[in-house]
Amino acid sequence: KQTYNVVVLPGDGIGPEVVEQATRVLELISSKSDTFSISLKSYDFGGCAIDSAGKPLPDDTLAACKEADAILMGSVGGPKWGVGKVRPEQGLLALRKELDLYANIRPCLFPSESLLSHSPLKPEVAKGVSFIVVRELVKGLYFGDRQEANLEDGSDGAAFDTMVYNRHDVERITKLGAYLALQSNPPAPLHSIDKANVLATSRLWRRVVQDTVDSQFASQGITVDHQLVDSASMVMVSNPRKLNGIILTENMFGDILSDESSVIPGALGLLPSASLSGLPDGKGKCNGLYEPIHGSAPDIAGKGIANPVGTILSAAMLLRYSLNQGELADKVEAAVRKVLDAKDVGGHELRTADLGGKHGSKDVGDKVVEVLESLL
Ligand code: NAD
Ligand code: IPM
Ligand code: K
Ligand code: MN
């Protein structure tokens, strides 16, 4: 029987609360499988690692992540660690860089049609939205040369961040986007989003995306259009179906657009992500880190009311992309959909407060586990 080693990084704030519900799902799958088992081991990461080890990404955590078959993460950061010199978020950026997790996949689709009435968008606007944000994750403004301002020495306090992309960076993320586009039949369209009317990096981005599609994917029926990020962000909430398919974009734009996309299904806590170091085609080693797109939510941490769905759906992505268990991933997603549609004995929806429900993280986790068990 094969054993998959999954490193678990609960992190800070609501991180541990949502991760606990997702690990229950993986434990159930492990206990029911005849062919493999999943071994889960937790490590300190983020603010809690600053407290215990003095740095957000301790050496043993990094070593375990490098060895692992996959990583399941919650979220890092919080007011306790502020924006000082050593910050939890630096650990996350370092981990992404160390493992070269260049492709951040953030699907935005309705996990359940019953959520339509909860979306702040009109149902006829939100209905049928289905796109995947593919965000470049190890370059751009996050990783270029930077200078902090010195506001104490009487100078003008200049600060800068720099955005650098090269051909290779854009080519590999385009290939990954095309790989995902080819998972549907006919292939999903690519929408490349940039700011080519201002930025040199965006003009490079636009050319390399187009060249890569023309030379390697047009013959397989893949099309690409190019949009400016300001107007695309408006389209995302006014006519989001226009973006159905694969949204290909650089690091910072992808960060912002993916949080914006959570408005469509109606809650940030619903959306999962995968960060990969290569194509998840089962050929060759591909590192994968799976986490909900949201942060540590300090405003609700410790109350047991965080929505665990984004993290449970991240565990489904882990099964699909790192453990090559697509059918089990489908079952987890089906279980989540059923739970979002379900009502409790009193006739209330079985949802957390962000979706207008009265239930806690554990109630939702309990129900997902129960429904999944019946599907296995
Ligand atoms: P956030 O995503 O933590 O929270 C934004 C809002 O969404 C809050 O009102 C929060 O209560 C709500 N929310 C988020 N997840 C939820 C869930 N699962 N259930 C219910 N409500 C949920 O963003 P923020 O407040 O801007 O950031 C807080 C901290 O998290 C910061 O330190 C930030 O750097 C960090 N952060 C970490 C990650 C990550 O670990 N990948 C991602 C984003 C933010
Ligand atoms: C995310 C977060 C991170 C990012 C922060 C915490 C560094 O917002 O995962 O979306 O900007 O990538
Ligand atoms: K997260
Ligand atoms: Mn973000």
Given 219, 247, 264, which residue is the final one in a domain? 264
- Using the predicted structure, report yes or no on whether residue 159 has a pLDDT greater than 90: yes
Q: Is residue 154 part of a domain?
A: no
- One domain for residues 28 and 58: yes
- The chain-wide mean pLDDT, for the chain, equals 96
- One domain for residues 36 and 168: no
Q: Is the CB of 257 under 6 A from ligand 2?
A: no
Q: Is the CB of 92 under 6 A from ligand 1?
A: yes
- One domain for residues 124 and 225: yes
Q: Is residue 174 part of a domain?
A: yes
When divided into structural domains, the chain yields a total of 2
Q: Is residue 24 part of a domain?
A: yes
The closest-lying atom of ligand 1 relative to the alpha carbon of residue 298 is: 28
- One domain for residues 4 and 68: yes
- One domain for residues 187 and 133: yes
- One domain for residues 319 and 346: yes
Q: Is residue 197 part of a domain?
A: yes
- One domain for residues 65 and 198: no
Given 230, 264, 298, which residue is the final one in a domain? 264
Q: Is residue 114 part of a domain?
A: no
> Which range has the worst mean pLDDT, 114-128, 226-240, 245-259?
114-128
- Residue 14: phi and psi, rounded to 5, are -75, -5
How much distance in Å is there from the Cα of 154 to the middle of ligand 3? 39
- One domain for residues 370 and 277: yes
Q: Express each pLDDT in 269-315 by its tens digit.
A: 999 999 999 999 888 888 999 999 999 999 999 999 999 999 999 99
- One domain for residues 135 and 260: yes
- Cα–Cα distance, 30 to 288 (Å, whole number): 19
Domain that holds residue 357: 1-106+267-376
Q: Is the CB of 273 under 6 A from ligand 1?
A: no
**Which of 9, 18, 57, 89 to mutate to test ligand 2, by most ligand atoms within 8 A of the CB atom?**
89
- One domain for residues 252 and 134: yes
* Complex confidence, ipTM: 0.99
Q: Is residue 50 part of a domain?
A: yes
How much distance in Å is there from the Cα of 289 to the middle of ligand 2? 13
Report angle CA 30, 35, 40 to the nearest 5 degrees.
30
Nearest listed ligand to the Cα of residue 357: 1
The CB density around residue 101, as the number of other CB atoms within 10 Å, is 21
Given 264, 294, 312, which residue is the final one in a domain? 264
- Band (157; pLDDT cuts 50, 70, 90): confident
- Cα–Cα distance, 90 to 86 (Å, whole number): 7
Residue 357's domain is classified under what CATH number? 3.40.718.10
pTM, whole model, 2 decimals?
0.97
- Cα–Cα distance, 330 to 336 (Å, whole number): 10
What is the greatest pairwise CA distance in the chain? 68
Would you please indicate which residues are annotated as catalytic (active-site) residues? 142, 195, 230, 255, 259
Report angle CA 103, 105, 111 to the nearest 5 degrees.
175
- One domain for residues 367 and 311: yes
Mapped onto helix, strand or coil, the DSSP state of residue 375 is helix
- One domain for residues 130 and 246: yes
- Cα–Cα distance, 308 to 122 (Å, whole number): 25
